Structures are given as structure tokens and as C-alpha cells.
Structure 1
């Protein structure tokens, strides 16, 4: 049964925690993450416009490889930030340890991430928690629910984080254009996984999107001819 969890993970090595630790914001919101390589991720973050932060301020931090101002919204200033992950964090965030879907933006404060995720079942969540513990990341569970009326409905419409990352990368590299501008092998090399694993991620993501768009539970009626 799907479960919805809210938790706080803590470690000085977590990506982006250097921003509230070093600069003015008390917190930032991470609205999207894309895995470029096993140890490199690009995050889309939102920062309160009243906080005086610039791309130059962000780029000066050791963990940040590149910071680009994307624009302003009613909720804050949006940046795209590429981060080189600490080795332990990279290993903890590997796909086999996380079978979950992000439900809300991640709130990042000094040394902490507060997240709300949908896991397939208790076993999947416990695997994620064990991976955190194995890599010196503390996890404090705030809440957990297994109410099917909440979790099953969410599961039908959302991709896992890994599926979303794979599809986002494929789209940005022109994989779905005609003719294709990249191959599954090239995407796999960027994602630092095997080509069969990449193809499987894309197929599962595509199926989830089609199932959500075309029919409940993916059960579509056959067309008459």
C-alpha cells in the first residue's frame, strides 16, 4: 500500500544547505531537481525576493558549479543551480535507494531538508531510511499515513523522481524530436547508468504519463474496428 511521509533529513553535506548557512535566506524552496551525472545535479530553487542574493553570491559557494537567474514569480526569485554532490550524498541518492515521488517543494534550511514524499510501501520507505543512516544522514519522521484515498490517487497521476529526471533529461536533449538528437545510450552515459536501465526508466515514465492521461489504472478499453 502506498504511504505518504513527511520527514526531515539532516547533514552538513546535503546539497544547497550552504545557501541558508552562508547567505541571508533563512530558507529556500527547491521545486525541481535533475540528475545530470551521479555526482552532479541541477536544482530549480525559489528564494524570497526580500533576501539580497545574486547569482554571483551563489556561484561563490564551494559546492555550486553554476547559478543562473531564471526570473521572478509572485512567490520569489527563481534560480537554476548546478551542484557537485558530496560522495556520500551521491551514493545515498542513487536510484535503487529511492522509489518515491516528491509531493511538495523541498524546504531547505541550515543543514536540513524537509520533504513530503509518496513511497510505494513501508518497505520502500525503510530502504530509503536505511540508506540515509548508512551515509550519515539523520532522518526524523514527522508524519506518515497509509490512507488509500490519499495515496492511491496521487500515485496514479505522478511520476517517481527518477522517472521525471530521466524524461526531463531526454526531452531537454532532443530525444523525442524527429529525427532524434540523442540516443538512449548517450542519455544513459549522462545519467551514469546502463542503456537498458535508462530505456526502462523512460518506458515506465512514458507508460505512467499515458496511463494518467488516458485512463484510470492504465486500463484502457480496446478500440472497435
Structure 2
């Protein structure tokens, strides 16, 4: 099942965050990125014209190796930046996580705001683990199953509330070993009690297992 995720990556090591700290535009957009080498990447970025950012402003930044001005489009100034990546960032992003960028990355002083689609939940979890193991925190904003696959998955018999609880639990690492979040944390996020959360998960898990194993008739017979 493909999933669409929105999240914020936070780390002082992330490329281009220094621009918003040093030059202080409100934000910039990265509309394209190309990896030349493990430690060098080319970013195509755009700034609001009102920010007044120039090539001369960008060149002195420590991480920037080369700057090319690509001109203006609408109310944006567009630049191509060759950036030297820090080793931790290179290692965090090195594996192929089967994720695809859906929208330009928005970069602020807080970090990178991204929207990506992943082939499956585990691909996203691998990406998150890789980031966090290299000092890059990932704050999940939302996670949404692809509608075309969600229609097919409706045959599993889950209620909307069970699906919501299970999706949140998976995305937050509840089923990982060791667990990354407690049932109390999930309950608080869903604004329900912990017993209610546990019941939702338990009934949802049972329904998924029943559907996957096609044993509903047998289980019902045993329960009588």
C-alpha cells in the first residue's frame, strides 16, 4: 500500500537551513535536487524577490561551493547551488527508501518540510530510522494511504476508527522493537483514553489477522 507522508526534518546539519539563519528570508523552496557525489549535491532553489537574496549573498556561506543565478520566474528568484553535504546527512540519505518527492521542499529555520510518497509503511519507517540514527529528527505531520489502494483494502473489514488508530501506531513506531511510542502517547494524540486505544488496536489487529488468514468462519465457530 503506497502512503503519502508530510513531515519536518530537523537538524543543524541539514543543507540550506543556514541560509534562513544567516540571510533571514522567511523561507526558501528547493524545487530540484541532484546528487553528484555522496558528499556533494546540486539544489535548484527559489526565493521571493522581496527577500532580495543575490548570488553575492549566497557565495560566502560555508556549505555552498558554487552559485549560478538562473533568473526570475513570476515573483521568484531562482538559483542553482552546489552544496557540500555533511557526512551525517550523506549517510542518512544514502540508502534507497523507495520514496518520491511530491512537492518542493520548503526550508525554514525550523528545518525541511517535505511531502513524499513511499511504496509501503516499512519504506517510510526505514527512512525515519536512518534519519534519526544520524541525528536528524523526523516529526510526522500526516500519513495517508493511497485512495486507490485504500478502496481495495476496505475488504479487510476495519472500521475507520480502527484504521486510523492502526495507521497512527505504525507511523509512530508502536510496533517496532523496541517500541518508539507508548499506548498512552497514541491515546493522547487521538484524544481518547488509553483503554479505548488498546481496544481499538486489539480489535483492529484481530480483524486484520482474520481477513489475512481467511479464518473468520473458523474463529466464529470456536468462539461459540
Please report the TM-score for the alignment, with normalisation by the length of structure 2: 0.65
| Alignment length (residue pairs) | 151
Report deviation, 1:130: 0.2
Q: Distance in 2 between matches of 1:124 and 1:75?
A: 37
- Does the 8 Å CA contact 1:24/1:52 hold for their aligned counterparts? no
CA gap 1:151/1:113 in 2 versus in 1, 3 angstroms: farther
Q: Distance in 2 between matches of 1:38 and 1:131?
A: 15
- Partner SS for 1:31: strand
Q: Distance in 1 between matches of 2:148 and 2:65?
A: 42
Q: Distance in 2 between matches of 1:11 and 1:101?
A: 21
Q: Which runs of 5+ in 2 are unaligned?
A: 152-224
Structure 2 equivalent of residue 8 of structure 1: 8
Structure 1 equivalent of residue 140 of structure 2: 141
Structure 2 equivalent of residue 99 of structure 1: 98
Match status 1:122 vs 2:121:
yes
Q: Distance in 2 between matches of 1:59 and 1:132?
A: 28
Structure 2 equivalent of residue 60 of structure 1: 60
Q: Distance in 2 between matches of 1:108 and 1:7?
A: 12
Please report the TM-score for the alignment, with normalisation by the length of structure 1: 0.65
Report deviation, 1:10: 0.2
Structure with larger Rg: 2
Structure 2 equivalent of residue 34 of structure 1: 34
Q: Distance in 2 between matches of 1:77 and 1:149?
A: 38
Q: Which runs of 5+ in 1 are unaligned?
A: 153-225
